[in-house]
Amino acid sequence: MEVKYISLFDYLGKPAGKEVGGRVNERAREFGITCLKRFVRNKKYVGKVNLYPEAFLEYYFNNSNNMNTTHEKTLV
């Protein structure tokens, strides 16, 4: 089974920001999740973004109350 990697922007449908991105990245490291990188260039951002397994992002945002974080997905 192939793992689908997506950015936080792709998952949330909006920029995640440094705070949310930092929390997601920290939790991914704690769980030993492998992250990939993608270079992005648009009007608002130029640089690398982290890509996470889609299943990890689903778990993270659907269980965020259990992970002591804000449920950002509902704010979209």
Cβ–Cβ < 8 Å for 50, 21: yes
Dihedral sign from CA coordinates of 69, 3, 10, 25: positive
Distance of CA 71 to the CA centre of its chain: 12
Q: Where are the domains of the chain?
A: 5-75
Residue-wise pLDDT tens for the chain (76 aa)? 899 999 999 999 999 999 999 999 999 999 999 999 999 999 989 999 999 999 999 999 998 665 544 444 444 4
Measured CA to CA, the distance from residue 56 to residue 27 in angstroms comes to 10
**Exposure pattern of 24-39 as b/e (b: 16+ CB <10 Å)?**
bbebbeeeebeeeeee
Q: pTM above 0.85?
A: no
